[in-house]
Structure 1
C-alpha cells in the first residue's frame, strides 16, 4: 500500500525512552536506522543500521534521512531545539512521518503549552504544522504522541512516587487524576501510529496505561511494603509555580531549579489537561492496566 511505513530512523535511541521504542520497532518488524553523534560508542542490535550524523548540519541530516519513511525523535530535553533542523532535513529528504520528542505532558493544551519548560516542544510542533501544511501529497506529516509521565521510570527515580525512600509527595493533596504510561507501552503506541499513518496524520494522539492519582499510587506503595513506615508531605502546586517563576526571573536562572517544577504543575496542577478522558488506546492497540497489573509495577520498584 502506498502509505505503508517500513523504514524508520530514530534519533536519541540511547536515552531513557529511546531503547524501549527501539525494542518495539524491531519487534514489529520495522527496518530501523539509529542516528548517532559522530564518535558515539553506543552499540545496537545487529539488525539496526547506524548512521553517524552532525545534528548541527542540515546536509548531514538530509543525507542520513534519505530513503527513510519516518523519523521518531526521542532526543533529551537539553537537545530538543535541535529537532528544528531535523524537521527541515526530514522534509527535504522526503520523509513522510515525523514523531517528535514530545512524549509526556499534554503540550497541545494551551495552559500547559504556555509553561516555559515546554517552549522547545511547542516550537517543534509549530514547525511540523507549517511543514505539513505546505507539503505536497505524500510529503511530510506528523504525529505528536502524548502519554503523561512515564510510570515505570517515574517510580524508579521517584518522580511520581519515591518507593525506594518510602516517601510520597502529594501535590495539592494528591487527589487529581492524571494519565501515565510505561516505557514499553509508549513504544507500542509509536508502532501503532506508524501502522495507522492515515488515522494519525497531523494530529496529537493520547495514550495511557492508566489514569490514577498520587494518593492511589501511595496506597499501592504501602501495600507493596507491608509493615514498613512511609512518610508523606503535601506540597502546593501554587508554591511550585511561584518558585519556578522566581528562579526564571533571575539574571542567570538555573534550569535544575525551575524546569521540574513546571513539569509537576503540568501533571498535578489544575486545568493542564493531564487526565486524558478520551484516548487513542483502541486505535493503537493499547490496553489499560488492571489494578493487579498496576500493583505489580509499583511493587517492582519497592
Structure 2
C-alpha cells in the first residue's frame, strides 16, 4: 500500500472544518493534522478532533510569523483551509509554497457565483487569483447551497441568528439550485484532494439540483406543516434589503444569486471549467432529497456563530 499523504486542516474547529475532518480520518490515503490557535486548544471542538485521531498542531495564521507557518507546514502534502473569507490566507499560502506543499485548498466551499455579484465570493475569487499568480499547486472546491436551506424551517424553530432565514420564500421559486448535504461535503473532499485529475482544477461538489418551490413542497409533505403564512419576498424587495447595510448585503446577497439570478447550477459551473464531482466519483451515492428532508425535520439544526471566531 502506498504511503499516506499528510493533510493539514486550518479552521478545523469550525462547522465546515469539523464536517470535513470527520470524513478525512476515514480515508486510508490520508493522515490528518489540524492547525489550532493556542486559545482554542481547550475547546470542545478541538477535543472532538483529537478523539477522531487528528493530530493537533498549535498555530495561528493571523499572528504567526512567516517562519513559524513554514515550520508548521514541513512534511505536509495537502493544506485545506476553512477560515472565514475575510481572513487573509496569503501568508499561509506563500508559506505552503515555500514548504513544498503539493496542493492547497483555500477557503471556498460555497456556491458557484460569478465575479462582481457578491462581495464574499469576490474575496474568495481574489484568493484564487493570488494562488494562480504565484504558481501554487491547488484545487478549488465549490459546493452547492446547503440542502437544509432549501426547506422551510418549522414554525417553532429559530433557524439562525437571523430570525427570517429559512422562513421566507424568495423570488419566483422556479430557479434551479445545486445543493449539497452536510455529510456529502467531507465525502467529496476526501476523494478530491488525493485525485491527480483535480490538481490545479476547480471542482463542483454537489448532490443534485432542486428549486425552492420543490424544496418547500417536499418540506410541507414531510413535516405536515402548512407554510403558506410565511412571507414571499420579491426580487425587488430583496434588492432593497441588500442596500440597507453591509450585514444585509451578506445575508441577502446569497439569496439574490441563488434564487433570483440562478448562478448556482451545475451547468454554469461546468461552463466555467469546473469538473463535475458526481461524474468523477460515481462510487459515492449521496442521500436522496427525501431522506435529507426527513432527517432535517426530525431535528432541525440551529446555528449560533461567535463573531470572534475565525473558522467557518
TM-score band w.r.t. shorter chain:
0.7 to 0.9
Runs of 4+ in 1 over 6 A off after TM superposition: none
Aligned pairs (5 A) from 1:175-214: 175-196=174-195, 198-214=196-212
The runs of 5 or more residues in structure 2 that have no matched partner are 158-165, 271-275, 301-312
- Which residue of 2 is the match for residue 45 of structure 1? 50
Q: Which residue of 2 aligns with 1:162?
A: 153
Match of 1:31 in 2: 31
Change (3 A) 1:242 1:227: closer
2:250 aligned partner: 259
Q: TM-score, normalised by structure 1?
A: 0.82
1:123 aligns with 2:126: yes
User: What is the aligned counterpart of 1:99 among 102, 105, 121?
Assistant: 105
Contact 1:5 / 1:195 at 8 angstroms: preserved in 2? Answer: no
5+ residue gaps, structure 1, are: 133-139, 248-253
RMSD over equivalenced CA pairs, Å? 2.5
- Hey, what's the Cα distance between the residues in 2 that align with 1:258 and 1:102? 19
CA 1:171–1:143: 2 relative to 1, 3 Å: same
Given that 1:12 and 1:75 are in contact with CA atoms closer than 8 Å, whether structure 2 keeps it comes out as yes
Matched, 1:281 2:284: no
User: Under a length normalisation based on structure 2, what TM-score does the superposition of the two structures give?
Assistant: 0.79
Equivalences for residues 73-92 of structure 1 within 5 A:
73-79=81-87, 82-92=88-98
Contact 2:6–2:31 (Cα < 8 Å) also in 1: yes
Q: Secondary structure at the match of 2:199?
A: coil
**Separation (CA, whole Å) in 2 of partners of 1:298 and 1:174:** 20
